[in-house]
Amino acid sequence: MDIRRENVLKALAERFSTFANVVTIQNKAGFNDINKSAERLFIDVLNIAYNLRLRDMNAIQDNYPAIDLGDYSSRTCIQVTSESTNQKFRRTVERFKEKQLDRDFDKLIFLIISNKDLCTLTDKDINTSVINLNDLYKAIANLDDRDVFYIDSYLAQNLVSRVEQSDSILPLGLMTTYSTPRPNALISFLGLEDEPEYTEQLLNDLKSLAQILSNLTKHQREYLFYIVGHGQFARNIYGRADENNIVMPTSQVGQAFGDYGVQIFHVLKAQDLLFVNDEYDPHGDDRYISVLEPYFRDELDDTNLFCALKSFCNGDLNRLRRIILDCDFSHLQ
């Protein structure tokens, strides 16, 4: 086994073990807020480990019944809980049936995040399974290196001990060194294998972008990721997609982020990462709308690097998320 992979897997085992212990102890002391936080925490990890597209069901409807996470495409749903009693199992299954969730989901998984023994009950009408963090760890251990390293990095940032938290006022990125390995896959994707001058410019641009992203706060990177990931390629006068220009209506961004997003926008605009176009004509009929355009050009001046990354990821938002949010450029190799 590769030494780095082995060390990362050992670290993950320790993280899961510590987390389960903390959940168990806090629950016994009457502190249950960690259970709710765990629902959102494990979405990315579960999606990667089990090749799912889970969504936070409470983001769709407040206090969504019976389940916490759902993937409509695979018809799989998950309840994240520290309880593993027969009573908890029966109560959840009963609620699942009562709300007729079987219309959308065929499989119900219980993820137990504490150290309690697993319930072994099943139901004759619903495909159920009960797993814990040991099972999740085994699934992660079978992933490829990039996914294992990403999950370790993600949990390292989000499972922070209250005892060991830094008192620094600097954004996390200013205390972190991000690597930019040679992006052979991106070079090939852009057709620059036989263009050493342009390849060198691309490498310099990626280093610059990595440095800029790492100096942003997490919220600023999330705002930028939302626009790059969910924006559309602009339409030219012939109605064709311009894959060197991403646009998103300012009204859509406003609804997503509210007043807080205005502050972030001004920061990103001041750093020439976002531009406002008040005369975008999406239908070519002079019905103009206002859009935001994420933009990064440096030495490779014909290439908007945000557009290149979006095209390269080809709809894989997990990969794009790792690049922009985690400044992990290893996915371009």
What's the half-sphere exposure (Cβ side, CA atoms, 13 Å) at 279? 1
Q: 132 with 264, same domain?
A: no
Can you list the pairs that 121-130 forms with residues at least 24 positions away whose Cβ atoms lie under 8 Å?
121/86, 121/89, 121/90, 123/93, 125/97, 126/93, 126/96, 126/97, 126/102, 128/89, 128/93, 130/84, 130/89
Q: Which domain, by its residues, includes 141?
A: 3-147
Do the domain assignments include residue 157? no
Packing angle of the helix pair 196-214, 305-313 (nearest 10 deg): 90
pLDDT in tens, the chain (333 residues): 467 889 889 989 988 988 888 888 888 877 777 777 788 889 989 999 999 999 988 877 877 889 999 999 999 999 999 998 999 999 999 999 999 999 999 999 999 999 888 998 999 999 999 999 999 999 999 999 888 988 888 887 777 654 444 444 444 444 344 455 678 889 999 898 888 888 888 888 888 888 888 888 888 899 999 999 999 998 876 667 888 899 999 999 998 888 888 888 988 988 889 999 998 888 777 888 999 999 888 888 788 999 999 999 998 888 898 889 888 787 787
Q: 125 with 242, same domain?
A: no
Please report, for residues 131, 179, 263, 266, 330, the alpha-carbon distance to residue 188 in angstroms, rounded to integers and kept in the order given.
41, 20, 38, 35, 15
Do the domain assignments include residue 154? no
Residue 194 CA to residue 191 CA, distance in Å, equals 8
Q: 121 with 222, same domain?
A: no
Q: 234 with 187, same domain?
A: yes
Q: 128 with 184, same domain?
A: no
CB contact at 8 A, 178 and 214? yes
Q: 183 with 241, same domain?
A: yes
Q: Give strand pairing partners of 129.
A: 109
Total number of domains constituting the chain: 2
Q: 182 with 114, same domain?
A: no
Do the domain assignments include residue 37? yes
CB contact at 8 A, 216 and 171? yes
Q: 10 with 85, same domain?
A: yes
Residues recorded for the chain: 333
Q: 217 with 111, same domain?
A: no
Q: 99 with 246, same domain?
A: no
Q: Give the residue among 229, 278, 272 at the shortest CA–CA distance from 250.
A: 278
Residue 69 CA to residue 279 CA, distance in Å, equals 40
Mind listing the pLDDT tens digit for each residue in 193-224?
A: 888 888 888 888 888 888 888 888 888 899 99
- Extended beta strands in 139-283, E state: 232-235, 241-249, 274-280
Q: 77 with 184, same domain?
A: no
Q: 25 with 142, same domain?
A: yes
Residue 41 CA to residue 236 CA, distance in Å, equals 40
Residues 6+ apart with CB under 8 A from 275: 269, 292, 293, 295
Do the domain assignments include residue 9? yes
| Helix (H) / strand (E) containing 283 | none
Residues 6+ apart with CB under 8 A from 133: 16, 17, 19, 20, 111, 112, 113
Do the domain assignments include residue 35? yes
Residue 134 CA to residue 114 CA, distance in Å, equals 11
